[in-house]
Structure 1
Amino acid sequence: MSRDADYLQSILHHDIPLTRDMGLTVLDWHEQQLRLRLPLEANINHKSTMFGGSLYCGAVLAGWGWLHLRLKEEGIDDGHIVIQEGQISYPLPVTEDATAICPAPDAAVWKKFLTMYRRYGRARLTLNTRIVNAASDEDAVRFTGQYVLHR
């Protein structure tokens, strides 16, 4: 695990204790893409699949973690990240350990977000996360979240 991944996992486990109970781990932060691991055993439901609430939480946290690490890279540490809105779909059941993946938004979108924050002390960013079963690359969950950064 990279230093950034270790750092983010310690932040998540300290500031959001639920992440420890979920068994959530940070797999990696590479080329501005964040991957989190969600174990089935800690998040199983009565149908022997992953609980929808755990999947929602994992998707939100992948976006939150992505934004947290990118802001750190930009030297921005004076803001608070909150999820303002989220839309999720569950096209496939999660039947094994899962990976939540949050890639970078378009570079122009990121630049506009930074400009807005620096100018007004508040900015919104939409991030897309997907969750896949560990043995597949097929989307089991698709999430779009609007995150707000404010001073």
Structure 2
Amino acid sequence: MTTARQPGIPHPRLPLPDGPEDLAVFQQWLGEAIPMVNALGIKGMTQQNDALTWELALTPSLNDKGTGFGGALTAQTTLQGWCWVTLWLRAQGISRDVVVAEANQRFLAPVTDDYRLVCTPSQPQGPAKLAAKLDERGKGRIALTQQLYCGQTLCLEANGSYVALPKA
């Protein structure tokens, strides 16, 4: 049984994987580390190449109009970017703190059913630049794009800048 999180007390880090990341284990840890994750409706995560994809249920994020609540969708995009950087670092064998530096979103269509959220680097050379900055300065930044699809309809596009902080 997990104990409730307390303000000011960091959650223990998930050990770095010896091989490919087990995303189910990562998602379980994420729900313990950030309690609101369990209320976001994340049904599953997959990674392929530079894309992190989440499948989400709409019901936990419904607004008064019966569509996706913008605040919940924004939280999901921000968290997904944080996860993308954290998982990328873990794949490199690096354990670092990650923070969001800035984020914005454009709402393009209402979210009316379960949906998928896809996070990718905003520029193809983004991961290589992040790696170079980490080697050079011990910290680095990457721009990511999150796209929310309800069926084939692009409903939301978000952009964020995330920072991998220096070793503590």
Q: Give the conservation status (yes or no) of the 8 Å contact 1:9–1:25.
A: no
Deviation at 1:23, TM superposition (A): 2.1
Unaligned runs of 5+ in 2: 1-19
Q: In the alignment, does 2:153 pair up with 1:138?
A: yes
Deviation at 1:74, TM superposition (A): 0.8
Q: Give the conservation status (yes or no) of the 8 Å contact 2:121–2:143.
A: no
SS in 1 for 2:125: helix
Which is helix-richer, 1 or 2? 1
Q: In the alignment, does 2:167 pair up with 1:149?
A: no
Residue from 100, 123, 132 that aligns with 1:83: 100
Deviation at 1:19, TM superposition (A): 0.9
Amino acid of the structure 2 residue aligned with 1:85:
E
Mapping for residues 1-151 of structure 1, pairs under 5 Å: 4-77=22-95, 79-133=96-150, 136-151=151-166
Unaligned runs of 5+ in 1: none
How many Å separate the matches in 1 of 2:135 and 2:87?
17
So what's the TM-score if we normalise by structure 1?
0.89
In our comparison, the structure showing a higher alpha carbon Rg is: 2
Task: Provide the aligned length of Structure 1 versus Structure 2.
Answer: 147
Q: Give the conservation status (yes or no) of the 8 Å contact 2:123–2:143.
A: no
RCO higher in structure (CA 8 A, sep ≥6): 1
Deviation at 1:3, TM superposition (A): 5.1
SS in 2 for 1:147: strand
Q: Give the conservation status (yes or no) of the 8 Å contact 1:28–1:34.
A: yes
Q: Which moved more, 1:39-48 or 1:112-121?
A: 112-121
